[in-house]
Structure 1
Amino acid sequence: MAEAHQAVAFQFTITPEGIDLQLSYQALNQIYLSGLRSWKKRVSRMRNSVIKGVYPASPSSWLFVVIATLVTMYMHSDPSMGLIAKIQQHLPLSLNVSLSAQGQTVVSALVFSTLLWLSLILALRFCLKLLLSYHQWMFERHGQISNTTKVWVTLVRLFSSRKPLLYSYQTSLPHLPVPAIKDTLSRYLESVRPLLSDVEFKQMTELASQFESTLGNRLQRYLKLKALWATNYVSDWWEEYVYLRSRSPIMVNSNYYGMDFLYVTPTPLQAARAGNTITALLLYRRKVNREELKPSRVPGTVIPLCAAQCERMFNTTRTPGAETGTAMFSPVSLHYNVLQHWQDSEFVAVYHNGRYFRLWVYCAGRLLSPREIEYQIQRILDDSSPPQPGEEKLGALTAGDRIPWSQMRKQYFTSGVNKRSLDVIEKAAFFVTLDDEEQGMRGEDPVKNLDCYAKSLLHGKCYDRWFDKSFSIVIYKNGKNGLNAEHSWADAPTVAHLWEYTLATDAFQLGYTEDGHCKGQVDRSLPHPQRLVWDIPSEAQVQRSLAVAQALADDVDCHVFPFRDFGKGRIKKLRISPDAFIQISLQLAYYRDRGGFCLTYEASMTRLFREGRTETVRSCSNESCDFVKALEEEQCRRLFQLASEKHQNLYRLAMTGAGIDRHLFCLYVVSKYLGVESSFLKQVLSEPWRLSTSQTPVQQMELFDLKNHPDFISLGGGFGPVADDGYGVSYIIVGEDMINFHVSSKYSCSETDSHRFGAQIIKAIQDIMTLLSVDSKTSSSSKSTAQPETKKLL
């Protein structure tokens, strides 16, 4: 058994001659090296804290200020205007006794220089925060940049000239502003106008007006007070009440997935793919810990985005928390969830064939080579030992309802071997599943196989993933991979950044040998991966959780398809935003599919602000509805332009903190704390999002050479439907000529069909492009024929 290979630092035997102490120098050396690695990390963190603490200045600038002060004093000039003399008068008596007059002056100058340096840092940071609070640049047309924006860009570049660490900008990012309640209500009414009849809209307008004149302003005052005190007035409540307070399964309902390359599988060997994937993830973690990653920025600009979500990427688990006596949203007791994060972890948890293992990824203070991790993974694959009673389907507890999982955890996992084994999973850097299936776009029916691939990553067998981990990696039998991510700790762009780095590092940097194995040497004396031990006296609750999860998984209808007719290159030639083009196409597709319009959710980031997460772009607007209706009646280039501009404006408002839904959500939370009811807020927050959409951004195109390696393109990822009678749509714009779509719905709803909706999306995109291309050619032709006339007139 693997347990027999655990190292022991010392052994002792009591004999008549005394105590015979036997030290294991190899084990002690491992302890020493592991401790040395930990201290190196502590020193690195302290160093980074100093560097980012003085940003945008540098630590060496202190020496420049000191020298400048001393040189000025040497020239018989007082740069402090008498402050140095006052500091010298207040020096401790012990210093006055031990130092000469000249020494006291130098010490006073050092104190003054340090205070001046700190003041300059605060001033620089304040100026940078003011600069980053300017968002008018987002609303200016391409090629029509104002002089104010040009000066602003120059100043931002000047303040950002030093190479920043990952978290250098955090203290300089502005706080998310609270929109005026009048503006939010006005934008809300505008967003629901195309969805309501005249009578319904009149009633909603009256509700909004009543809310503003009575309860709204009172709630707004509390919200402004929180905004003054808290770093971000939305994020903590959003995390707690939208994610962590949920009692329903997080599998399908909350977790999302990311896919491998579409056309390429770098190696067919499961253990080798696992070796490189795990190594790449751990290299990314090292960059995060050392803050060596470049801060994310708005694409094509120098504007930084908040990096706070990176902090809990690894060594993090969502756990079912204790029962509370009161609940904000319910008069009865409530089970909630807790996010637990550990500073470091030197192992990963691995699931294979119904067994759980702990795989150490460090040895003697060094990261194992990819070939060594492959060797260890192969040991797990070759292990033929059967699962222990209750072990195989234990993961179903994380897939079902949260209350039973909390009760089961409290009853069976608070002590003994169960607690120790559960601690290994929860404290692991991340979770790895070695799946016994083959997935990907393969075989005689690649379309159907892509759909199966998506369903596998979204829920698997409902017990072979640990859905509570911040993310779980899945390595399939044929070498394909993917991930399943828990949603509460971060949003998809943060995970997408990680996954882009992992795929690129795996394929282009680490690479494989000609026979498909990982590169590197193997130390065959490595201890075997450790089997986790369980004592599960009853499997009844596991089976009940599995039944709930299985019913949920069986109901999900996933459809994944790449659109290759054209991509953002052709769309941008028409001077149209690719995102607006796709969103309006989705409106047209939904109208054709369901015969009407619906409340549409598009996720937009608010990471221009500190600890920002997301805001909703309500893509179904008056302008988009007018265009769709006009297109069905065969007239409408101008209406599409209006709809596109409207969508872009809505997106910019959401990014700059002037969205609708997070403000209304926080007002609702305040009303619950105050114990008051608002029929307006209650109705607003109960409206279903029948079309929930999200774009997966490509953030690191420099990692992928699509010209020389055109097949190494990612499929992106997707998520489950938000409404029982709606669609979930995720899309990724890859390169210039391709858009990949992920559509989900529920089989139990007779009105939805993911494949049918996918076909409607393709037709809508093609029809709109045909319309715009014809109009564009007509416009160009008119201009060319009119040109000679103009010359004659001149």
Structure 2
Amino acid sequence: MFMLIKNGFRKIMVSPGGVILTQQLPRSTMAWYDTPECQYIQMSKVPTLHFQASLPRLPIPKLEDTCQRYLNAQKPLLNDEELKHTSSCISRFLANEGQSLQKQLLQNNAENPHTSYITEPWFDMYLRDRKPLPINYNPFLVFVPESDLKYDAQLVKATNLVVSSLRFLKSLKNNILEPEVFHMKPEKSDTQLFRNVTRLIPPRFSWYGAYLFKAFPLDMSQYKNLFNTTRIPEIGKDRIFHEPSAKHLLVLRKGHFYTFDVLDANDCIRSPKEIAASLKAILEDDRPPNKHPVGVLTTSERDEWAQTRSHLIETGNQEILKKIDSAIFAMILDDEVIGTDYNKLIRTYLHTDGTNRWFDKSFSLIVSKDGYGGINFEHSWGDGVAVLRYFQDVKSDISEKPRFHPNEVDELSKESTNIERLQFSIDAKSESIINQQKAKYQGWINRLCVDHIIYEEFGKEQCKKLRVSPDAVMQLAFQLALYTLEGRLVPTYESCSTAAYKHGRTETIRPCTLETKAICAAITQKQIELSKSELKRMILECSNAHNVLTKEAVMGQGFDRHLFALKRYAEKSDSVKPAIFQDPAYDALNYNILSTSTLSSPVVMAGGFGPVVPDGYGIGYMIQDKRLGVVVTSYEGVRNASKYVQTLEHAFKNIHDVLHA
């Protein structure tokens, strides 16, 4: 062990025997920031990717099982005649084309043991979609405010978010970030014994060692694209750009772009005061908002943006775009004061007016004038599991170990800064396109309806006492609210992670079931008089059915991804499209009127996304110990988020009332 003493520009290390070793330090690390404890958010004994080599592969379900699960999902949505037709299509598929497509899928999967069968087609699906990224794809999360409000000052909050993010990055790069593990019994596996044992097991066997502790390591292949990554628009299909050597941060304010290095030549994080001084200089830059905010172009349809980007490159902006694309991440400094307007908070982090955003970045940290902090992230490179892990670790770090403090703001005048302002060359054509896109995007967001509900009457704790799944309760409420409004059930999507498998992405849970249909009808149709005990029994049956679907999805035994992959193989062949995919019921099921997803965590204040179809609802929800939270989006003139939220509150009350009978 060595004792570290800081002395001006020198690091003096004193060994136990009294030998003094000195090393010249770069100016950026002289203050305090040259110790591992300062450079890394975690220093795990178990390497970050220790379990990656031995993760089980995502299973390909049996064709018969997939067909039966698909039929079950259609039953609550189709009338007798439609169901008979769909059942016939399924039978023909199972007896004919399905067998050859399944054989192709199995063979291709066997030839690519390094990945999962869904990875390539899922990336391809995302990158080929031409719809704009904001609202359609990019979700958002907002941090719970700090307990000491002085740490929510914009400069202080932004600095600490940057520093903690870099600490996370360095731990990830150096393979010492704690591996992501799902602990079935944390008291047995989330322990030093677990870490000491599993780190000694060779990586190709390590997963099995974790399994003996009832712990399940999760895939971490997506994490590398958290940083230094941007989705580049190209005609027909976008691409993911990743430049791990870049050391600079991208900062946006008032539609202007700035960069400065946050890592030095040795990849050491620069001191918090240096980072804060640069951010402070940007905040004090009193130039007016950018007349030509290029960031709004990232709200465009992807082919249109690809063409405009090519023109920007032709007019001398290639190096600027390269700086933006390679930046570690984007820090957005907004001049907006949100106050206590929760819906304004949602709009700020979901879409805003696009002039101070770059939606193509893997993620952007956004800090408002009054100190709200959150993230908007591009979805093609990865899923919520990776983002939530980063989000939670950074929140814990800025709350428990903030590296920059409010009383240090006045000392920043002594710090030097080295900021580069990126000045785009804008010709008449680019100016016209920017102005058109600003107006187009404004018209789009004006049609978006946003609302929310925070239901304080019960949460996860009460649900568990009543032996009902909290997630099943939420999903039932979503169905009941829509059934109350429209007297019918609709195709519903619930996202479920398959990160327990190598290169797993997501699977779909179909929470609209026959059990759901029965309880919705029983509660809303007053002519059917059932006792509360009978209704409670029906809710419990609904919960049990939902639990089965959830377990199947988590285990890679859903049907959506399997059919999606088989359909891709069918499209590549010259043969006639199988009847199952010609059936209108297939397209209808995948036209998700209710699209739902949760990233529940005590550190998440709000989270959500836009509708995935023009006449649908986007529903982001949180399940906490004592309350339930939901963010709902829709488009005006088709469906109404505010009306849905009001009905959802009654649905919660109805379910709560029945469960307590």
Partners in 2 of 1:772 and 1:388 — Cα distance?
Answer: 55
Structure 1 residue aligned with 2:5: none
**311, 318, 323: which one aligns with 1:424:** 323
Give the Cα separation in 1 of the matches to 2:294 and 2:153.
Answer: 27
Pairing of 1:457-536 with structure 2 (within 5 A): 457-510=349-402, 513=405, 516-517=406-407, 522=412, 524-536=414-426
**Greater share of helix residues, 1 or 2?**
1
Cα RMSD (Å): 2.6
**Counterparts of 1:381 and 1:528 in 2: how far apart (Å)?**
14
One-letter identity of the residue aligned with 2:394: T
1:31 to 1:421, Cα distance in 2 relative to 1, 3 A: farther
Determine the C-alpha separation between the residues in 1 that align with 2:28 and 2:422.
26
Q: Does structure 1 residue 375 correspond to structure 2 residue 277?
A: yes
SS in 2 for 1:336: coil
Measure, in 2, the Cα distance between the counterparts of 1:740 and 1:496. Answer: 17
Question: Does residue 741 in structure 1 map to residue 644 in structure 2?
Answer: no
Matched, 1:764 2:648: no
| 1:126 corresponding residue in structure 2 | none
The one-letter amino acid of 1:183's match is D
Give the share of equivalent positions with the same residue, in percent. Answer: 30
Please name the residue that 2:597 is paired with: 694
Residues in 2 aligned to 1:460 and 1:261: alpha-carbon distance in whole angstroms: 20
- Residue 219 to residue 649, structure 1, CA distance change in 2 (3 Å): same
**1:214 offset after TM fit, Å?**
2.2
State how far apart, in whole Å, the 2-side matches of 1:728 and 1:222 are. 35
Which residue matches 1:244?
A: 127
* Displacement of 1:183: 1.2
**Which of 84, 109, 113 is equivalent to 1:202?**
84
CA change 1:503–1:634 in 2 (3 A) is farther
Tell me the residue number matched to 2:247: 346
**CA separation in 2, counterparts of 1:646 and 1:611?**
28
Q: Residues 617 and 631 (structure 1 numbering): CA distance in 2 closer, same or farther, change over 3 Å?
A: same
TM-score by length of 1: 0.70
* AA at the equivalent of 1:436: D
Partner of 2:442: 550
Alpha carbons of 1:425 and 1:30: their partners in 2 closer, same or farther (altered >3 Å)?
farther
Structure 2 partner of 1:83: none
Partner of 2:180: 296
Q: Given residue 530 of structure 1, which amino acid in structure 2 is its aligned partner?
A: E
Structure 2 CA distance for partners of 1:482 and 1:685, relative to 1, 3 Å = same
What's the CA shift for 1:252? 0.6
Residue number among 481, 492, 498 corresponding to 1:600 in the alignment: 492
- CA separation in 2, counterparts of 1:262 and 1:32? 30
1:29 is displaced (CA, Å) by 9.5
Residue 65 of structure 1 is matched in structure 2 by none
Map 1:126-145 to 2 at 5 A.
none
Alignment of 1:224 onto 2:106 = yes
1:286 corresponds to which residue? 170
Alignment of 1:290-439 (within 5 A): 290-301=174-185, 302-321=215-234, 323=235, 335-363=236-264, 365=266, 366-386=268-288, 390=292, 393-413=293-313, 416=316, 418-439=317-338
Q: Deviations over 1:523-553 (max 9, x none)?
A: 8352331111221112122223333322322
Aligned equivalents of 2:546, 2:373: Cα separation in 1: 35
Q: Which amino acid aligns with 2:450?
A: C
Q: Evaluate the alpha carbon distance shift between residue 547 and residue 248 of structure 1 in structure 2; reply closer, same or farther with a 3 A threshold.
A: farther
* Alpha-carbon distance in 2 for matches of 1:309, 1:625: 37
Q: Which moved more, 1:375-384 or 1:600-609?
A: 375-384
Q: 1:384 to 1:486 in 2, by over 3 A?
A: same
Given that 2:593 and 2:615 are in contact with CA atoms closer than 8 Å, whether structure 1 keeps it comes out as: yes
In structure 2, list runs of 5 or more residues that go unmatched: 1-23, 186-214
Q: Distance in 2 between matches of 1:256 and 1:389?
A: 27
Tell me, yes or no, if the aligned pair for 2:315 and 2:425 is still in contact at 8 Å.
no
- Structure-2 change in CA distance of 1:400 and 1:209 (3 Å): same
Instruction: State the Cα distance separating 1:594 from its structure 2 match.
Output: 2.0
Give CA-to-partner distance per residue, 1:233-269, whole Å, 9 cap, x none: 012211111x100111111100011112168655353
Amino acid at match of 1:661: D
Q: Distance in 1 between matches of 2:52 and 2:284?
A: 47
Given the alignment, which residue of 634, 657, 665 partners 2:556? Answer: 657
* Alignment deviations for residues 366-409 of structure 1 (CA, whole Å, 9 cap, x no partner): 3223333222111012123456763xx21111111111211122
Gaps of 5+ in 1: 1-27, 49-161, 324-334, 443-448, 702-712, 775-794
**Deviation per CA, 1:41-67, whole angstroms, max 9, x where unpaired?**
xxx9xxx9xxxxxxxxxxxxxxxxxxx
Deviations 1:665-711 (A, max 9, x none): 1011111111332242244145411111111133xx7xxxxxxxxxx
Whether contact under 8 Å (1:30, 1:364) holds in the other structure is no
Alpha-carbon distance in structure 2 between the residues aligned to 1:342 and 1:618: 38
Q: Which AA in structure 1 matches 2:222?
A: Q
Paired residue for 1:631? 523
3-state SS of 1:740 partner = strand
d(CA) in 1 for partners of 2:435, 2:513: 46
Report what 1:178 is aligned to. 60
User: How big is each residue's C-alpha offset from its partner over 1:562-595, in whole Å with a ceiling of 9 and x where there is no partner?
Assistant: 2211211111001122111211122112211222
Give the TM-score normalised by structure 2. 0.83
In the TM superposition, what is the alpha-carbon distance from 1:486 to its structure 2 partner? 0.4
Deviation at 1:177, TM superposition (A): 1.4
Q: In the alignment, residue 235 of structure 1 is paired with which amino acid?
A: T
1:96 aligns to what? none
Separation (CA, whole Å) in 1 of partners of 2:83 and 2:453? 38
Rounded to whole Å, the distance in 2 between the matches of 1:297 and 1:357 is 37
Q: Structure 1's 226 and 410: CA in aligned 2 closer, same or farther, altered over 3 A? A: same
Give the match for residue 754 of structure 1: 641
1:14-56 CA-partner distances (Å, limit 9, x unpaired): xxxxxxxxxxxxxx997999xxx9xx9xxx9xxx9xxxxxxxx
Deviations, residues 152-202 of structure 1 (Å, cap 9, x unaligned): xxxxxxxxxx95322111111111111111211111111111111001100
Q: Which moved more, 1:359-368 or 1:259-268?
A: 259-268
Contact in 1 for aligned 2:509/2:550 (Cα 8 Å): yes
| Superposed CA offset, 1:437-463 (max 9, x none) | 1125x2xxxxxx111110111111122
Residue type at the aligned position of 1:546: K
Q: Please state how far the C-alpha of 1:218 moved relative to its aligned partner.
A: 1.5
CA contact (8 A) 1:272 1:371 kept: no
Offset, 1:434: 1.0
For the 8 Å contact 1:164–1:295, the answer to whether it is kept is yes
What SS is found at the alignment partner of 2:614?
A: coil
Write the distance in 1 (CA, Å) between the matches of 2:452 and 2:49: 36
Shift of 1:364: 5.9
Q: Aligned partners of 1:346, 1:263: CA distance in 2, in Å?
A: 28
| Shift of residue 357, structure 1, vs aligned partner | 0.5
What is the SS of the residue equivalent to 2:217?
coil
Return the alpha-carbon distance in structure 1 between the equivalents of residues 250 and 286 of structure 2.
18
Q: Distance in 1 between matches of 2:216 and 2:152?
A: 41
CA distance in structure 2 between the aligned counterparts of 1:678 and 1:284, rounded to whole angstroms:
48
